[in-house]
């Protein structure tokens, strides 16, 4: 039996990168998969990829930084597939690169809305739907920068630290309701978020990892699969980094 047989899974930010890898893997593991992204073109490409591999999925466009769009996303998921058992709150942006005193206010607001408030909004509507479905599991995408800082990305660092705290608080609140909630902290992964870096900077980023390379989206997807499967049935309120040794330094 496949790990996610007869489950309904919702993945945000599934139009590219880590989200796409997760959506494809979940569909191949038997989940009825909702691919969601603000990028309709990317989302449709993920949907086509899933269907080409024999998976069952739909695409729903949504901006997770808007509370009501999260509500509609969950409602459409339940209408289409009859419930919700799994969610991955993965949608995120890098934001501007600048020291704090020069950081643009609108950039701060946007990063916090997408990377932190979007996770809160997602869980706010996902959890009741999961309770109604008999229980479920959520993975929130944090970052290695949810545990440590870096120069030039104060909004991103603050948001990802917040995601870990939010995950822990929610896990405690719903542990007795059949809902498990965990966070993942990827290192630097080969995704479109790194397209803003030139080759020299990219090589410097690779060197930050003791393994001497960037991670692959599929490596993050495999960890999320385990956390959202019954194999991790006693795991909640935890943070798992997948970072090539970055945080061990």
Residue 239 appears among annotated catalytic residues? no
Residue owning tokens 């408030």? 117
| Sheet strand arrangement including 179-186 | 57-61, 32-37, 8-11, 86-89, 136-141, 179-186, 239-242
Annotated catalytic residue within 156, 174, 240, 246: 156
Cα radius of gyration (the chain):
17
Residues 6+ apart with CB under 8 A from 143: 156, 160, 163, 185, 186
Question: Please, what is the end-to-end C-alpha distance for the chain in angstroms?
Answer: 39
Q: How many angstroms separate the Cα of 34 from the Cα of each of 49, 178, 197?
A: 13, 21, 31
Active site residues: 156
């Amino acid at each position: 039996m496949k790990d996610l047989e007869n489950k309904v899974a919702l993945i945000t930010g599934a139009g590219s990168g880590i989200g796409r890898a997760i959506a494809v893997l979940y569909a191949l593991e038997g989940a009825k998969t909702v691919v969601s992204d603000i990028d309709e073109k990317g989302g449709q490409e993920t949907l086509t990829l899933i269907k080409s591999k024999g998976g069952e999925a739909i695409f729903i466009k949504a901006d997770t930084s808007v509370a009501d769009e999260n509500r509609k996303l969950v409602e459409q998921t339940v209408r289409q597939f009859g419930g919700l058992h799994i969610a991955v709150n993965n949608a995120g942006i890098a934001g501007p690169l600048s020291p704090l005193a020069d950081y643009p206010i609108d950039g701060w607001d946007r990063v916090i809305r997408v990377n932190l408030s979007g996770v809160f909004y997602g869980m706010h509507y996902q959890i009741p739907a999961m309770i109604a479905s008999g229980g479920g599991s959520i993975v929130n995408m944090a970052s290695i920068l949810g545990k440590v800082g870096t120069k030039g990305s104060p909004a991103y660092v603050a948001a990802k630290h917040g995601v870990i705290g939010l995950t822990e608080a929610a896990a405690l609140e719903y542990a007795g309701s059949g809902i498990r909630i965990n966070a993942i902290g990827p290192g630097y992964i080969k995704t479109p978020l790194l397209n803003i870096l030139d080759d020299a900077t990219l090589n410097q980023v690779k060197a930050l990892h003791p393994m001497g390379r960037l991670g692959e989206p599929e490596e993050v997807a495999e960890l999320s699969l385990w956390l959202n499967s019954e194999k991790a049935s006693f795991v909640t309120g935890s943070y798992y980094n997948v970072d090539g040794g970055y945080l061990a330094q």
